[in-house]
């Protein structure tokens, strides 16, 4: 539970602050002490016909005896008149003292309301009381004699609230009776104090909510049974476990409910090679993270001499929709993917889809070949730099030129040529499938040696390499 933080007045004790509040109020309203009666003040100060005991009886029994039927207020005026008569200093001084008393009661009430949670710094209640003491909104109530109904009713209002809080904490009948009596006195001073039950209901609801929040904190967030002890990963070859823990900020030993799974998912989805992420809490102490990688279909490399096609600094993987990604760990199977040359290098950016029409034509050709394995074509690399065609080098070093339209028809003609080579023991050297009739094609005799390209790729694919 959070400890209360020291406030600006935390070192001052109530016995020092109460005189300070009274002195502050007296200093602020000192000019009002010499003020005369204003507007309807004479109508509120006890009239001659009400100044005796019979007049006090009429104040409580005759609805029309006073300007407003506030028997407690006019009883206070009756008593004050008995003490100092028509001397206005007494009435002004009474208002000032009532206002200072209300400020101190407010501080005590706020301290009781704020203390259990500890979220409000200690001593802040006195700062609030001082602010209320000098706030201009109170000037009319304090300086105007007839507005004693405000200062007096507020004292009863705050006393009633404090007594009811005593009752709600201990269920003592005496506290309930005191709260009821003080509430009736407040009503007899000013009718607007009828809002007290609604205000207490709000306070109790907030206290109940705070109690529920505290209970939830103890049960979930401070419960040692919900300490994270195991984090499991299925990363699909995208990154290492150490990298995933470092980037997501997940640490074993912290409370499982305090782990920000939304942020962890956001961080992982920001990795270009990640296609999907699933993070789950398994109570009481386990979090599982499953990452599904984007499935690359080729490399995109610049058309440069002596360039390494699998160099992640210059080449990127691309999936079937044209999304580019720089692999953190180069898996062995990545070396077997075809390489697409001819894309402008300034358009190749990690983590972004490449909107290039020539590239998408090449990807469409790869998709068509993958869906028709009977075409007997295994693509080693592709050159799309010319724009009007796709130049393909097969794994058997056959040079094949495709038109950018009607791939199924061209693959059908290519299959016939490759089947002819298989049956006759020859190899396809080159063919231009852009020409439908009298297609230019050359054959060579098959060399009974192991395919060099395949052997080279197999040799490269032995170890996985981390970028």
pLDDT per residue as tens digits for the range 140-153: 999 989 899 999 99
> How high is the pLDDT of residue 455?
46
Q: Are strands 316-319 and 296-301 parallel, antiparallel or unpaired?
A: antiparallel
Rounded average pLDDT over 439-465: 61
219 secondary structure, DSSP code: I
Name, in order, each residue with C-beta under 8 angstroms of 361's C-beta and a sequence gap of 6 or more.
384, 390, 404
The pTM of the full predicted model, rounded to 2 decimals, is: 0.56
* Distance in angstroms (rounded) separating the CA atoms of residues 19 and 288: 61
> How high is the pLDDT of residue 232?
95
* Distance in angstroms (rounded) separating the CA atoms of residues 135 and 153: 18
Output the CA torsion 262→265→266→271 (10° steps): 170
pLDDT in tens, 350-360: 888 888 888 99
Q: Give the confidence band of 461 by pLDDT, cuts at 50, 70, 90.
A: very low
* Distance in angstroms (rounded) separating the CA atoms of residues 428 and 437: 18
Q: Give the confidence band of 2 by pLDDT, cuts at 50, 70, 90.
A: very low
**Does position 220 have pLDDT exceeding 60, yes or no?**
yes
Q: Give the confidence band of 449 by pLDDT, cuts at 50, 70, 90.
A: low
Q: Give the confidence band of 310 by pLDDT, cuts at 50, 70, 90.
A: confident
Where residue 162 falls (left for φ over 0; alpha for ψ -120 to 50; beta otherwise) is alpha
* Distance in angstroms (rounded) separating the CA atoms of residues 169 and 188: 27
> How high is the pLDDT of residue 456?
47
pLDDT in tens, 4-55: 455 455 566 778 899 999 999 999 999 989 888 887 778 778 888 888 899 8
**Does position 311 have pLDDT exceeding 80, yes or no?**
no
Name, in order, each residue with C-beta under 8 angstroms of 38's C-beta and a sequence gap of 6 or more.
144, 145, 146
> How high is the pLDDT of residue 233?
94
* Distance in angstroms (rounded) separating the CA atoms of residues 189 and 150: 8
* Distance in angstroms (rounded) separating the CA atoms of residues 390 and 401: 6
**Does position 450 have pLDDT exceeding 60, yes or no?**
no
* Distance in angstroms (rounded) separating the CA atoms of residues 242 and 233: 10
Please name the helix (run of DSSP H) or strand (run of DSSP E) that holds residue 290, with its range, or none.
strand 286-293
> How high is the pLDDT of residue 463?
46
> How high is the pLDDT of residue 171?
79
Q: 361 near 384, Cβ under 8 Å?
A: yes
> How high is the pLDDT of residue 10?
57
Q: Give the confidence band of 337 by pLDDT, cuts at 50, 70, 90.
A: very high
Q: 244 near 268, Cβ under 8 Å?
A: yes
pLDDT in tens, 366-410: 999 999 888 889 999 999 988 899 999 999 999 999 999 899 999
* Distance in angstroms (rounded) separating the CA atoms of residues 275 and 268: 9
Q: Give the confidence band of 302 by pLDDT, cuts at 50, 70, 90.
A: confident
> How high is the pLDDT of residue 283?
92
* Distance in angstroms (rounded) separating the CA atoms of residues 379 and 414: 13
Least confident span in 43-47, 254-258, 325-329, 337-341: 43-47
**Does position 1 have pLDDT exceeding 60, yes or no?**
no
- What is the average pLDDT value for the chain, to the nearest integer? 86
- Total Cβ atoms within 10 A of residue 277: 17
- Total Cβ atoms within 10 A of residue 266: 12
Q: 285 near 226, Cβ under 8 Å?
A: yes
* Distance in angstroms (rounded) separating the CA atoms of residues 263 and 75: 65
* Distance in angstroms (rounded) separating the CA atoms of residues 132 and 130: 5
> How high is the pLDDT of residue 306?
56
Rounded average pLDDT over 101-117: 86
Q: Give the confidence band of 453 by pLDDT, cuts at 50, 70, 90.
A: very low
| Long-range contacts, 99-103 (Cβ 8 Å, 24+) | 99/25, 99/29, 99/133, 99/138, 99/141, 99/142, 99/151, 100/21, 100/22, 100/25, 100/26, 100/133, 101/155, 102/151, 102/154, 102/155, 102/158, 103/21, 103/25, 103/129, 103/130, 103/132, 103/133
Q: Give the confidence band of 452 by pLDDT, cuts at 50, 70, 90.
A: very low
> How high is the pLDDT of residue 466?
56
Please report the domains of the chain, with CATH numbers, ordered by start residue. Answer: 14-45+86-219 (no CATH), 225-293 (3.10.20.310), 296-466 (3.40.50.11690)
Residue with the larger pLDDT of the pair 185 and 13: 185
Q: 264 near 210, Cβ under 8 Å?
A: no
Q: 339 near 380, Cβ under 8 Å?
A: yes
> How high is the pLDDT of residue 24?
95
Q: Phi/psi at 222 (nearest 5 deg)?
A: -115, 10
pLDDT in tens, 245-272: 999 999 999 999 999 999 999 999 999 9
């Amino acid at each position: 539970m959070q400890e209360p933080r020291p406030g600006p007045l935390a070192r001052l004790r109530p016995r020092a602050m109460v005189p300070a509040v009274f002195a502050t109020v007296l200093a602020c309203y000192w000019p009002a002490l010499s003020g005369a009666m204003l507007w309807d003040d004479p109508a509120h100060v006890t009239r001659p016909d009400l100044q005796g005991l019979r007049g006090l009886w009429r104040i409580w029994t005759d609805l029309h005896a006073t300007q407003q039927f506030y028997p407690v207020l006019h009883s206070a005026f009756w008593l004050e008149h008995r003490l100092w008569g028509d001397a206005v200093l007494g009435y002004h001084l009474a208002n000032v003292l009532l206002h200072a008393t209300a400020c101190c009661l407010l501080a005590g009430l706020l301290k009781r309301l704020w203390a259990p949670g500890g979220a409000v710094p200690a001593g802040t209640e006195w700062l609030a009381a001082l602010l209320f003491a000098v706030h201009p909104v109170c000037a009319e109530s304090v300086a105007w004699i007839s507005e004693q109904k405000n200062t007096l009713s507020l004292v009863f209002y705050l006393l009633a609230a404090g007594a009811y809080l005593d009752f709600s904490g201990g269920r003592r009948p005496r506290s309930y009776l005191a709260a009821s009596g003080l509430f009736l006195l407040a009503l007899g001073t000013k009718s607007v104090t009828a809002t007290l039950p609604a205000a207490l209901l709000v306070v109790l609801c907030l206290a109940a909510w705070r109690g529920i929040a505290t209970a939830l904190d103890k049960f979930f967030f401070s419960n040692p049974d919900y300490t994270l002890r195991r984090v499991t990963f299925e990363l699909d070859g995208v990154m290492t476990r150490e990298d995933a823990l470092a980037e997501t900020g997940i640490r074993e030993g912290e409370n499982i409910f305090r782990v920000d799974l939304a942020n962890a998912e956001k961080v992982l989805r920001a990795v270009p090679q990640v296609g999907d992420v699933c993070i789950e809490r398994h109570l009481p102490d386990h979090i599982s993270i499953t990452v599904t990688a984007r499935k690359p279909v080729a490399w995109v490399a610049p058309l440069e001499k002596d360039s390494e096609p699998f160099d992640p600094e210059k080449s990127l993987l691309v999936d079937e929709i044209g999304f580019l990604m720089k692999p953190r760990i180069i898996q062995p199977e990545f070396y077997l993917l075809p390489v697409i040359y001819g894309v402008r290098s300034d358009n190749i950016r990690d983590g972004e889809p490449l909107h290039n029409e020539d590239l998408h034509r090449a990807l469409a050709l790869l998709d068509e070949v993958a869906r028709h394995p009977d075409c007997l074509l295994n693509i080693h690399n592709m050159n799309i730099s010319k724009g009007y065609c796709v130049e393909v080098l097969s794994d058997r070093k056959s040079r094949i030129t495709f038109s950018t339209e009607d791939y199924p028809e061209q693959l059908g003609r290519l299959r016939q040529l490759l089947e002819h080579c298989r049956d006759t023991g020859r190899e396809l050297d080159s063919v231009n499938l852009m020409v439908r009739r009298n297609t230019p094609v050359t054959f060579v005799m098959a060399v009974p040696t192991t395919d060099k390209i395949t052997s080279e790729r197999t040799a490269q694919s032995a170890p996985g390499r981390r970028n």
